[in-house]
Amino acid sequence: MLFNSLQFLIFFPIVVSIFFLLPQKRRWILLLIASYYFYMCWKVEYIVLIIASTLIDYYVAKQMAALTKKAKRKKWLLISLFSNLGILFGFKYFNFINENVQAIFDNFNIFYGVPTFDILLPVGISFYTFQTLSYTIDVYNGKTPVQNHLGIFAVYVSFFPQLVAGPIERSNHLLPQFFVEHKFSYDRVKFGLQQMLWGFFKKVVIADRLAIVVDGVYNNLDNYSGFSLLVATLFFTFQIYCDFSGYSDIAIGSARVMGFELMDNFKRPYFSKSISEFWQRWHISLSTWFRDYLYIPLGGNRVVKWRWYYNLFITFLVSGFWHGANWTFIVWGALHGTYLIMAIGLRKPKQYILDLFKLNNTYAHKTYQVGFTFSLAVFAWIFFRANNISDAFYVISNIFSDIGDYTNLSLMKLKLRGLGVSQNDMLISFGLIVFMELYNLYERSGCVWKKLGNKPKWIRWGVYYILIFGILFLAPYSRVSNFIYFQF
Partner 1 sequence: MNKEVKILVKKGSVFILPIIAWICIVIAIDPFNYFNVSDIISEKSKKQSAQKLNSLLYNAINFKNNPTNSIIIGDSRIRKLPNKRIKELTGDDYYTLHSNAAKLNEIIDLFWLANDYSQLENVIIGINFNLYNEYAYSNRVADVKELIYNPFIYIFNWNIAETIYLALKNEFFGKAKKQKKDRDKFWKHTISTVAKNHYSKWKYPKTLLSELSEIDAYCKEKNIKLTLLIVPHHKEFHDRLVEFGLTEEEESFKNEISRFGTTIDYNFPNTITNCKECFGDPIHTTDSISRIIVEDLFSDSLIIGKLLQ
Q: Which sequence positions are flagged as catalytic?
A: 323
Q: Does residue number 477 form part of the binding site for partner 1 (CB under 8 A)?
A: yes
Sign of CA dihedral 71, 72, 73, 76: positive
Q: Does residue number 478 form part of the binding site for partner 1 (CB under 8 A)?
A: yes
Interface of this chain with partner 1, residues 210 to 239, rule: CB under 8 A: 223
Least Cβ distance, residue 1 to partner 1 (angstroms): 17
Q: What is the CA radius of gyration of the chain?
A: 24
Distance CA 304, CA 434 (A): 44
Q: Does residue number 104 form part of the binding site for partner 1 (CB under 8 A)?
A: no
Residue nearer to partner 1 on the CB measure, 430 or 464: 464
Residue 445 has a CB neighbour count (10 Å cut-off) of 8
Burial of 117 (0-12, 13-18, 19+ CB in 10 A): exposed
Distance CA 20, CA 31 (A): 11
Interface of this chain with partner 1, residues 335 to 394, rule: CB under 8 A: none
Residue nearer to partner 1 on the CB measure, 20 or 439: 20
Q: Alpha-carbon dihedral of residues 98, 102, 105, 111, nearest 10 degrees?
A: 110
Residue nearer to partner 1 on the CB measure, 35 or 195: 195
Distance CA 214, CA 229 (A): 9
Among 66-74, 283-291, 433-441, 464-472, which window interacts with partner 1 (CB under 8 A)? 464-472
Provide the angle, in degrees to the nearest 10, between the axes of the packed helices 125-140 and 70-88.
Answer: 180
Residue nearer to partner 1 on the CB measure, 356 or 409: 409
DSSP string of 128-160? HHHHHHHHHHHHHTTSSPPP--HHHHHHHHH-G
Binding mask 171-190 for partner 1 (x = CB under 8 A): -------------xxx--xx
Residue nearer to partner 1 on the CB measure, 82 or 461: 461
Distance CA 341, CA 359 (A): 23
Least Cβ distance, residue 143 to partner 1 (angstroms): 37
Least Cβ distance, residue 233 to partner 1 (angstroms): 22
Q: Does residue number 473 form part of the binding site for partner 1 (CB under 8 A)?
A: yes
Binding mask 418-457 for partner 1 (x = CB under 8 A): ----------------------------------------
Residues that bind partner 1 (CB under 8 A): 6, 20, 184-186, 189-190, 223, 461, 464-465, 468, 472-474, 477-478
